[in-house]
Structure 1
Amino acid sequence: MNPRLADATSPYLRAHAGNPVAWFPWGEEAFAEARRRDVPVMVSIGYSTCHWCHVMARESFEDETTAAELDAGFVSIKVDREEHPEVDAAYMAAASAFSQSLGWPLTVFATPEGRPFYAGTYFPPQPRAGIPAFRQVLAAVHEAWTERRDQIDETADAVAGALAEVRRSAPDADASTPSADELVGAARALAGREDPQHGGFGEPAAGAPKFPVATALRFLQTPVLREHAAEASAVADRALTAMAASPLRDAVEGGFFRYATRPDWTVPHYERMLTDNSQLLDVAMAAVPARDDVARGIAGFLRDVLQQPGGGFGAAQDSESWIDGARSEGGYYARDAADRVGLDPPAVDGKVVSGWNGLAIGALARAGVRLDEPSWIESARWAADAVLEVNVAADGRLLRASLDEVPSRAQATLADHGQLAAGLIALAVATGEVAYAMRARELVDACVDAEHRVAVPGGGDPVLSRQGIGAPDTASDADEPSGAASVAEAAAALWMLGAGDSYRSIAERLVAAHAPAALAQPLAYGALLRVAAGLAEPPRQVVVVTDDAHAALATAARSIRADVVIIVSPEQSLSWAAAGFELLAGKEQRDGRPTAYDCRDFACRLPVTDVAALEA
């Protein structure tokens, strides 16, 4: 058992601790060992629910002969991409110089200084369909290292230079936030990519995998588009309807799988991810009409399957499980409820990622309010408290993740800060407890320096920083909102609660900087465009002050589709105002009765105390 991996805060690394390969975890120690031995580094990047990562592990990393060749000629590093997303992004960008077919497992060869010089994805044990065998790749790299070092150095320098050039290309500093008309145009362009036969985005006959792209669906559901581009918003509703009725959704446990391999949403890739399901919960609640049944299924999956004993939500559930003594991909999910009884379910990656928990916290808090499910809000609170207790260093810095309540050493990303902050704000609004909003404000503030620039606190991964190999600065989404979009969302939410115009300025700067790219490629920038849509028109804010959270006025307010709907007690209202959230300043009960304040862009109508007046 490899002690370097056995105690890792990653199930993926722990799963490789028994390999005959002398793995190192990501860190300076591995590169120092490569320099001492003057050998190249082989970086293998994957994650615990990755099917082809499992396959390559069984075929190559568990093979004694292959392991011996690796140990003799290389220093091998195993990286969990979910624990170190910046490392994954940097090496994925480097790998694009060698292959257009990118994915995981990602296999990168680098100099002891960390400069990549060759990369690929899955390599089989024997040559297959034009792909060389993994041992052939090892032999070729070793031969080049020992006999043609100058060519390797030249390639490594070229790749490093190209990555540096990409990072130097700054966003458009002179751009402005998109207007409502520009957002409508982007939405219609996005809607034009709808698969008219099966819903979602893509060509009906294409062979590429088909993803939900929840970030784009959420953009199409924004109020400004519901009003000005209803036909584009309907694309999101049709996509949800199609996915919910397809094999992409687990009919027994309610969650959605990662993607489908066919245009009609069939033959799923059977991972179930926290990121996808958290966002699809919001999609279900924002649909017209709202899909409460889909929302309840997703919430059940999040709470019953992914929520860990310590409170945080695990990262994903595997696609594989043991059935009749053999590993089966998707076999568990092919059974009905009765046939699953007695089967061991696929393993859950219990890694608690800070930002991804923020997505779940926010979605459950919002849905819990709308559907009057207090237990969902309590699940969100439990997760928030767990992340704020465990995923924080002694000096107060947010960390990327934890496992079994043991924090990882990996630094939090910009997306972690923004996603967690946005989730905490939603929880604060759902519970009326300002402490969560104050912690969210601290997270956003940590991302803004003295020159008002937004960057990851601490400067990112220290090993990559020392090597000069960094990930491209991008605001485009993958399967989750980007760092820029997440911080912009949290900052805009703080502004809407009255934290100050400086937070709107943060959101506007982030949106404006990437607006040209976002308007040109809306499918890749859904999260940023959703924030832009929230800034395009004056917000509507509804505040209800009441000692009785179930009063008729409070119940009526919860059904209002507004940018902010917050129900607080008189004491809570005072606490919010004292903490600097001006929306709550002066908001109090009138004549001891529940009182509602309906505001547009912080200008409030006269307070009302009856439902009819609020609805009018």
Structure 2
Amino acid sequence: MNESAEETKIEWREWGEDAFEEARNADKPVLLSLSATWCAWCHEMDREAYSNPMVAANVNDSFVPVRVDIDRQPRVRERYNAGGFPSTVFCTPDGDLLTGATYLGIDGMRKVVQRVRDLWTHKGEDAARIPRSLREDPPVGDLSPDIERLVAGQLDEKFDDQFGGWGDSEKFPLPRTAEFALKREREQALASLSAVRKHLYDDYDGGFFRFAEGRDWSEVHHEKLASTNAALVRAFANAYLYTGDEEYRDPAERTVEYLTATLWNGEAFGGSQAPGASDDPNVSEYYALGPTDRETTDAPAVDRTAFADANAMVADALLTYHAYTDDERARTYAERALDYVLSELVEGGEVTHFDAGNEADERSESGLLADHAHLLGALTTARQVTGDEAYLDAAREVADYALDRLRAEGDDSGAFVDGPREGPGLLDRPLRPLDHNAEIADALTDLALLTGEDRYREAAEGAVAAFADAADRFGVQVAAYATAAARLCRDPLVVEVADDAGSDLHRAALRVADHEKVVIPGVGAESDEQGTAYVVVDGERSEAVTTPEELSERVAELTE
């Protein structure tokens, strides 16, 4: 439990069956406080509402209060998120939902506490509900090019041509959406990335902030997450691939420096950096300082916990950047992060979310879909960039675990569930998250092409088709899903390189201007084909080429 929670007057319990058993025995509702080390408003609620003696007395008397770290308990986060963080959620002793809110001040907390007490007194369990995502099967449909078309149509509809980005309220960087747009609405993608660079990038310390509240990118929230920064390194690197413009390479390069310096914990990448202390959660005192004053001020705290999914995302991004630039620092740190995850967090293909070390009161979950999806993506990228077969062997193990253990028994939808179907509260109900199904489908598509094994492609098709009937209702935020669908409906460009990884021909293949392609190094390298490459488009294999120039010409001929 973090220091902010420990300094409140609430008698917090850890998430677990013991807390729910206590609630059942006492016939009290549970108050779940979903928080994060990087969340300024979470710390503000701890300082104000949860440190108020009257509020604390009412909470301690009428509820069993449980503090949840959303980075360490992602399955709890996905089931109980009330629309942002902090999430203040009231539920029954069995974990069913009563009501919830985000940030509450002292007066708001008093009112909600009284309302929930009255609700529990008069209705009890009858007031509870189960979220629709845990009650209903996914909207299974047909895998079709219409999925890509429908989401691509949202790009124009939601693009903000005045300020850049997509949407007309708060602005998130949406790196996966930018990548989707790079092949379909490139000017929108570049304009959006330029806006992200202008408004969310920290020019002094490096790294990107999480989001801005205003449509014009004002009221920036200054937390920096490893996952956000990784995804933006990859998006800016891919923009550089298409344009060759230093405007997109520079922020990627400087963010690599931020990740490998500020967030590196000596073995892997830490999860986040807090926004900095302030009396006003919307204004970070540290980031309001000029460069000279920052030099003499302690930087905001870093959570150095190495999470499997975040480290995989960083490794994937750094390898992508290296592929386009030959940056050896990026490659070295990517390989170190993958080595850490594979040696410390993976056993028999099962991925553990993080290493809890010797902390007796903390245990990490394992077998989470997000960890498997992102690690699989990083491993397939590593195979393409480095040529190392060991990464492909590891990818098979991780994928096979997901195929065997993360698809619900008797579920014909084809969707993957987010983790083990067990645990207190709502954890025993299967959740099929769209975004992580898209990520694993995309990675399985790469794995199928790298191994030649159709079973991986079939699993990818099932994961995408599981949500296809709702594609007309999806927004640009889930463009990664449309990317996965597009790559399954129309085979991605493949470049087979009968040469060693790192050769001029291999490097040229990596730099073909299509970030959705797959590069397979070492194909036939032991034969008389050494030093050649082949372009595969829609299953048709071209004649051999032997130079980077010929490769570029052949790709242009076959894809125009």
| Structure 1 and Structure 2 fold alike (TM over 0.5) | yes
Contact 1:485-1:511 at 8 Å conserved across structures = yes
Give the partner amino acid of 1:153.
Answer: E
Q: 1:308 to 1:408 in 2, by over 3 A?
A: farther
Task: Map 1:462-477 onto structure 2 (within 5 A).
Answer: 462-464=423-425, 470=429, 473-475=432-434
Contact 2:40-2:281 at 8 Å conserved across structures = no
Shift of 1:603: 4.6
Q: 1:141 to 1:184 in 2, by over 3 A?
A: closer
The 2-side partners of 1:105 and 1:322 are apart by 17
The answer to whether structure 1 residue 83 and structure 2 residue 72 are counterparts is yes
Give the partner amino acid of 1:369.
Answer: A
Give the partner amino acid of 1:429.
Answer: Q
The answer to whether structure 1 residue 306 and structure 2 residue 263 are counterparts is yes
Shift of 1:457: 7.7
Identify which of 336, 361, 374 aligns with 1:419. Answer: 374
SS in 1 for 2:158: coil
Give the partner amino acid of 2:526.
Answer: E
Give the partner amino acid of 2:386.
Answer: T
The answer to whether structure 1 residue 197 and structure 2 residue 145 are counterparts is no
Q: 1:598 to 1:260 in 2, by over 3 A?
A: same
Report Cα offsets for 1:143-199 as digits up to 9, x if no partner.
554xx34x132111xx13xx3x543432343x22232x6624531332221111111
The 2-side partners of 1:473 and 1:64 are apart by 41
Give the partner amino acid of 2:372.
Answer: H
Contact 1:390-1:405 at 8 Å conserved across structures = no
Shift of 1:250: 0.9
The 1-side partners of 2:167 and 2:28 are apart by 44
Contact 1:350-1:403 at 8 Å conserved across structures = no
Q: 1:44 to 1:268 in 2, by over 3 A?
A: same
Between 1:190-199 and 1:281-290, the stretch displaced more is 281-290
Task: Map 1:65-76 onto structure 2 (within 5 A).
Answer: 65-76=54-65
Contact 2:219-2:282 at 8 Å conserved across structures = no
Shift of 1:254: 3.0
Q: 1:611 to 1:31 in 2, by over 3 A?
A: closer
The 2-side partners of 1:186 and 1:114 are apart by 35
Task: Map 1:130-529 onto structure 2 (within 5 A).
Answer: 132=108, 134-145=109-120, 148-149=121-122, 151-156=123-128, 159-160=129-130, 163=131, 166-173=133-140, 175-179=141-145, 183-203=148-168, 208-222=169-183, 225=184, 232-246=185-199, 248-287=200-239, 288-290=242-244, 291-311=248-268, 313-321=269-277, 329-392=283-346, 397-402=350-355, 408-449=363-404, 453-456=414-417, 459-464=420-425, 470=429, 473-475=432-434, 482-529=435-482
Contact 1:411-1:460 at 8 Å conserved across structures = no
TM-score by length of 1: 0.80
Q: 1:153 to 1:465 in 2, by over 3 A?
A: closer
Shift of 1:532: 1.5
Q: 1:499 to 1:587 in 2, by over 3 A?
A: same
Q: 1:58 to 1:613 in 2, by over 3 A?
A: same
Report Cα offsets for 1:86-121 as digits up to 9, x if no partner.
2122223xx5xxxxxx32211122222222223222
Q: Counterpart of 1:580?
A: none
Q: 1:436 to 1:78 in 2, by over 3 A?
A: same
Q: 1:380 to 1:41 in 2, by over 3 A?
A: same
Q: Counterpart of 2:556?
A: none
Q: 1:539 to 1:142 in 2, by over 3 A?
A: closer
Contact 1:253-1:300 at 8 Å conserved across structures = no
SS in 2 for 1:252: coil
Q: 1:411 to 1:540 in 2, by over 3 A?
A: same
Q: 1:400 to 1:608 in 2, by over 3 A?
A: same
Q: 1:548 to 1:351 in 2, by over 3 A?
A: closer
Shift of 1:39: 2.3
Give the partner amino acid of 1:272.
Answer: K
Give the partner amino acid of 1:375.
Answer: R
Give the partner amino acid of 2:89.
Answer: V
Contact 1:361-1:381 at 8 Å conserved across structures = yes
Identify which of 99, 102, 106 aligns with 1:118. Answer: 99
Contact 1:215-1:279 at 8 Å conserved across structures = yes
Give the partner amino acid of 1:152.
Answer: G
Q: Counterpart of 1:552?
A: 504
Identify which of 510, 518, 534 aligns with 1:597. Answer: 534
SS in 2 for 1:257: coil
Contact 2:90-2:100 at 8 Å conserved across structures = yes
Report Cα offsets for 1:388-425 as digits up to 9, x if no partner.
233346x7632222356978422342122111111121
Q: 1:473 to 1:46 in 2, by over 3 A?
A: same
The 1-side partners of 2:24 and 2:358 are apart by 35
Shift of 1:435: 1.6
Contact 1:421-1:490 at 8 Å conserved across structures = yes
Shift of 1:234: 1.7
The 2-side partners of 1:528 and 1:117 are apart by 32
Identify which of 87, 108, 115 aligns with 2:89. Answer: 108
The 2-side partners of 1:196 and 1:380 are apart by 36
SS in 2 for 1:542: strand
The 2-side partners of 1:396 and 1:498 are apart by 17
Q: Counterpart of 1:588?
A: 526
Shift of 1:506: 1.4
Give the partner amino acid of 1:335.
Answer: L
Shift of 1:65: 4.7
Identify which of 16, 24, 30 aligns with 2:13. Answer: 24
Shift of 1:335: 3.1
The 1-side partners of 2:424 and 2:479 are apart by 31
Shift of 1:59: 1.2
Q: What is the identity percentage for the equivalent residue pairs of Structure 1 and Structure 2?
A: 30
The 2-side partners of 1:14 and 1:310 are apart by 24
Contact 2:417-2:432 at 8 Å conserved across structures = no
Q: 1:66 to 1:471 in 2, by over 3 A?
A: farther
Q: 1:184 to 1:397 in 2, by over 3 A?
A: closer
Contact 2:4-2:43 at 8 Å conserved across structures = no
The 2-side partners of 1:404 and 1:333 are apart by 33
Aligned length: 538
Contact 1:414-1:457 at 8 Å conserved across structures = yes
Contact 1:216-1:522 at 8 Å conserved across structures = no
Report Cα offsets for 1:456-508 as digits up to 9, x if no partner.
48634522357x6x475341xxxxxx221111011101012134112111111
Q: 1:357 to 1:603 in 2, by over 3 A?
A: same
The 2-side partners of 1:536 and 1:544 are apart by 24
Give the partner amino acid of 1:50.
Answer: C
Give the partner amino acid of 1:364.
Answer: L
Q: 1:186 to 1:66 in 2, by over 3 A?
A: closer
- Unmatched tracts of structure 2, length 5 or more: 554-560
Shift of 1:140: 4.3
Shift of 1:70: 2.8
Shift of 1:318: 0.9
Between 1:361-370 and 1:136-145, the stretch displaced more is 136-145
Report Cα offsets for 1:489-543 as digits up to 9, x if no partner.
1110101213411211111122222223234323132111111222232332223
Q: Counterpart of 1:10?
A: none
Shift of 1:606: 3.8
Q: Counterpart of 1:229?
A: none
Q: 1:188 to 1:234 in 2, by over 3 A?
A: farther
SS in 1 for 2:466: helix
Contact 1:117-1:152 at 8 Å conserved across structures = no
